[in-house]
Chains A and B, each alone.
Chain A
Amino acid sequence: MKARVFLLLVALIGLGAPILLAPTGAIAIGANEALKDPAQEARARALFKQLRCLVCQNQSIDDSDAGLARDLRIIVRERVHAGQSDGEIISFLTARYGDFVLLKPPVKASTLALWLTPFVLLLVGAGGIVMVLRRRPRAPDAALSAEEKAKLATLLDPDRTDRPQ
């Protein structure tokens, strides 16, 4: 039984592997495009992953096969090769395509609501929990009185027959 499950898992992973590997940039980028300097190429690839393919929109230009994504990859590589900083390359693209070209929206006045809402909701939730906890009846602070102790003793008395159900 265990062996069968194991075989099934191996088969599933085997089937899944090509699907997992397919969308990586390695296939989308032509071999002749890569920069010779590995450090520069790594920087270019890191930038590709931050930049949205404007044609397919939910893919980065690293993942996309679209013509425009290919053109933008070439532009990013050219600019990395020319020694431009990441900031310079990103502002070149946002000047043309707006912040939408960035997969991660920048923090600024118009995006504050987007960035702060989760924290506001967290605070509201925390406030709610605090309120609920405060409303719970507190444990009595005072020790039991003599009368209460006697009542407790009768209740716990194992010989007692008229124990309430």
Chain B
Amino acid sequence: MRRLLYILPVVALVLLSALFALLLSSPRDPNKIPSPLVNLPAPAFELPALLDGGTVGSDDLKGTITVLNVFASWCIPCRVEHPALMRIMRENKNVRLIGLNYKDKPEAAKAFLAELGNPYQRIPVDRTGRVAIDFGVYGVPETFLIDARGHIRFKHVGPIHPGDYADKIIPAIRRLMNEGGGK
């Protein structure tokens, strides 16, 4: 019994070390906050469109799988992920790509797309950032995957690196496809 008491602190130390080692080596990034909006309907919005006039709203998210990407011309990581978005556009013809232009000047956003190419079908302009707050955006870029019913099903925070495209975005799109487009 007495010996057990002496061993107890050692056991506690070993357990704590194991816990720290596990948490420190896990790929979980504490900067990435899980969104409470996943599996809920995308927030309602109606915003002016950047390029073709008219408006883009939450009703335009329905009917097919949508990738909603929050971007801005002033956002450097958005340049990093831009090739991944072009790839999503080219390689997934039945996926709709929408670019929520966050707190940006329309001329600057147009110049950004003219320079790098436009992967988006529609571009709602959120100059105040209020719609982005409804989506729980806390840093650009962020990418949402929305099913045909208009429900958010997946969220990616930060730029889509080439590895993320193959390991996260494409598998998430496939899962929705296998559900029959999430209808």
Beta-carbon contact of B138 and A98 below 8 Å: no
- Asked if A33 is an interface residue, CB under 8 A from chain B, the answer is no
- Asked if B33 is an interface residue, CB under 8 A from chain A, the answer is yes
The distance in angstroms between the C-alpha atoms of A95 and B37, with both chains bound, is: 7
- Asked if B103 is an interface residue, CB under 8 A from chain A, the answer is yes
Beta-carbon contact of B133 and A54 below 8 Å: no
Beta-carbon contact of B138 and A68 below 8 Å: yes
Residues 55-72 of A at the B interface (beta carbon under 8 Å): 55, 57, 67-68, 71-72
Question: Would you give the 0/1 interface string for A94-112, flagging 1 where the beta carbon is closer than 8 Å to chain B?
Answer: 1111101000000000000
Q: Which of A55, A57, A72, A94 contacts B133 (CB 8 A)?
A: A72
Q: Which of B31, B34, B103 contacts A67 (CB 8 A)?
A: B103
Beta-carbon contact of A98 and B35 below 8 Å: yes
Number of interface residues of B (CB under 8 A): 16
Beta-carbon contact of B33 and A100 below 8 Å: yes
The distance in angstroms between the C-alpha atoms of A97 and B35, with both chains bound, is: 6
Question: Would you give the 0/1 interface string for B109-137, flagging 1 where the beta carbon is closer than 8 Å to chain A?
Answer: 00000000000000000001110011110
- Which residues from chain A contact B133 at a C-beta distance below 8 Å? 68, 71-72, 75, 96
Residues 66-103 of A at the B interface (beta carbon under 8 Å): 67-68, 71-72, 75, 94-98, 100
Interfacial residues, chain A to chain B (CB-CB below 8 A): 54-55, 57, 67-68, 71-72, 75, 94-98, 100
User: Can you list 25 A-B pairs with a CB-CB distance of less than 8 A?
Assistant: A54-B33, A54-B139, A55-B139, A68-B129, A68-B133, A68-B138, A68-B139, A71-B128, A71-B129, A71-B133, A75-B133, A94-B36, A95-B36, A96-B36, A96-B37, A96-B133, A96-B135, A97-B33, A97-B35, A97-B36, A97-B136, A97-B138, A98-B33, A100-B33, A100-B34
